[in-house]
Amino acid sequence: MRIRFSAAVVAAAQVLIVGTAQAQIREVAVTGGRVSGAVANGIAAFKGIPFAAPPLGALRWKAPQPVKEWTGVKAASSFAPGCIQDPTLAKLFGAPDVVSEDCLYLNVWTPAASPSERLPVMVWIYGGAFTSGMTSIPAYDGVPLAEKGVVLVSLSYRLGVFGFLAHPDLSKESGKGSGNYGLQDQIAALRWVKENITRFGGDLNRVTIFGESAGGISVSMLAASPAAKKLFHRAISESGGSFGPARTANEGGTTVPSLKVAETTGQAFLTRQGVVDITAARALSVEKMKAAPGGGLQGQFWPVFDGDVLPKGQYELYQAKRFNDTPILIGTNSDEGITFVPGATQPAAFEAAIRAGYGAKAETILAAYPHGTVAEASQSSRNIFRDATFAWHTWAWALLQSKHGDGKAYVYYFDHRTPQSPNGAGHAAEIPYVFRTLGRFSGPAGLVAPPRPEDHAMSDLMSSYFVNFAKTGDPNGPGLPPWPAFTESSQTAMHFDAKPGARPAPNMTQIKAMDDYFAWRREEAKGTK
């Protein structure tokens, strides 16, 4: 018997099929209660999900505590306030200037039609020198990357004095050192991801952490922290890494203080606040703390070698094979220093600065960085900042991973030039290319021009590599220039420039000089223990 379907029945069936295919995850039960998101163009966005209790009052300067449960369905439709900071920089990048101590929230964007899809997960950690940064910056919008088949998460963490104050009383209180509350926030958010991400269609066995600047430094710290073990499976760092020894004074290229140094800084801060103990400090208003000199808004506070979250120098941990071994994709930009050292430098001033910061290896550094003229000294000032702060750490990380780990290391060098940045790519310039948010990144010159066709092509290339890496641990894929892994014998980087391709790692004369310097600093540090 022949069955005849009317046009209306066929049309209704087609609507049903299409509707099913486009079904989205709109409401999810997570730790603490239920949340509802907003769906647009096939992507469900959940913003402002709490992953820990508000760190207020007695919880100020404590490890993040379990999230408080709520009743009903929480509308996760808008970003939570940023953590306490001077919002000037965030506003420069287009974020709202709303900040609060109650700031431990994260956001999820998912293209999954159901929780069973098991898509790779990418967890973004913002930069900002550990004193600023927000998930609400438009360039961090998760939609464009989610459209490429990943679940995108962005997390917040405490900043400045609120995130990184060390003090003897706090160390005694915890029994595990102090000063790394911002890093503990990141770890708590990753635990939340492990417990909840499958409900958003994510694969809890394919979690990639990625970040830029302080976010990239955070990624490297998480890669070395025993507290982050088994919370992620791949790591991407953009202009990050932290492989120098502890900072005890103003040594060139060192940023992470020892616990003793950090506690001394914390004691001095509380003295300036006019309080004698942590109980009194926890009662201080945010306004009073922000108004005080050194209120954590000028880069005075930083992650600490506390003996717990960061047991010791990462270089030594990698040599001892005491790290979280995963594939890594890491890199730097060609003109990072222009963002931090924009003016002219006189040759004599350049020499004086190097001799003051680089000790017995000053002559080695001076020989590697031309400085006979103002033009040379100015460029070398920028390049030394790039190499001492970002590039050497990236190179050392890749070398240590390739020598001591099973996970492969993939290194890049971002040198994409625009009419606004003809001499190279400045710090953070790669972010909108990775996120596919070109045209939404306001900020310093070099980042704000309308995107050209070649910019869109670079964005497609970079985002494809990054998403491939999140999916498989290998950035390579059909139609992409081959990207070989970095090894000790073949130190290759993917150059993202006018002719993208794998070539020898750049600036090796300077990197080798910097490596000689950091080796000396490590030996010097041994003598102070």
Bigger pLDDT: 403 vs 449: 403
Residues 6+ apart with CB under 8 A from 4: none
Q: Which fold does the domain 44-326 belong to in CATH?
A: Rossmann fold (3.40.50)
Q: What is the pLDDT of residue 92?
A: 82
The pLDDT of residue 251: 81
Task: Locate CATH 3.40.50.1820 in the chain.
Answer: 44-326, 336-529
Residue 280: predicted pLDDT: 95
**Topology classification of domain 336-529:** Rossmann fold (3.40.50)
Q: Which residues are CB-contacts of 135 (< 8 A; sequence separation ≥ 6)?
A: 79, 82, 105, 106, 107, 124, 126, 154, 155, 156
> What residue ranges in 99-215 does DSSP mark as E strands?
105-110, 119-125, 151-155, 202-212
Given pLDDT bands bounded at 50, 70 and 90, which one contains residue 325? very high
> Distance between CA atoms of 452 and 268, rounded to whole angstroms?
50
pLDDT score for 4:
39
Q: What is the pLDDT of residues 410-465, one digit of tens each?
A: 999 999 999 989 999 999 999 999 999 998 765 554 456 789 999 999 999 999 99
Mean pLDDT over all residues of the chain? 91
Q: Which is nearest to 513 in space by CA: 400, 404, 370?
A: 370
In this predicted structure, what is the pLDDT of residue 527? Answer: 67
Task: List active site positions.
Answer: 213, 336, 427
Q: In the chain, what is the straight-line distance between the N-terminal and C-terminal CA atoms, in Å?
A: 91
Distance CA 315, CA 371 (A): 30
* Whole-number pLDDT of residue 231: 98
- What percentage of the chain reaches a pLDDT higher than 70? 92
Per-residue confidence band for 237, with pLDDT thresholds at 50, 70 and 90: very high
pLDDT in tens, 458-502: 999 999 999 999 999 999 999 999 999 999 999 999 999 999 999
DSSP-derived secondary structure for 432-479? HHHHT-TT---SSTTS-SPPPHHHHHHHHHHHHHHHHHHHHS----TT
Q: How far apart are CA 44 and CA 37, in angstroms?
A: 6
Residue type, 334: S
Summarize pLDDT for 132-161 with one digit per residue, the tens: 999 999 999 999 999 999 999 999 999 999
Please give the Cα distance from 30 to 40 (Å, whole number): 21
Question: How confident is the model at residue 292, as a pLDDT?
Answer: 64
pLDDT at 94: 84
Indicate whether 71 pLDDT > 80: yes
DSSP state of 388: I
**Nearest residue to 362 (alpha-carbon basis) of 520, 506, 204:** 520
Confidence of residue 295 (pLDDT cuts 50, 70, 90): very low
Distance between CA atoms of 455 and 391, rounded to whole angstroms?
24
Strands 202-212 and 234-238: parallel
The whole-number pLDDT of residue 147 equals 97
Beta 202-212 vs 38-40: how paired, if at all? unpaired
Radius of gyration of the chain from its Cα atoms, rounded to whole angstroms: 24
Question: What digits encode the pLDDT tens for the residues 195-222?
Answer: 999 999 999 999 999 999 999 999 999 9
pLDDT single digits (tens) 6-51: 333 333 333 333 333 355 899 999 999 999 999 999 999 999 999 9
Locate tokens 């995107």: which residue?
A: 451
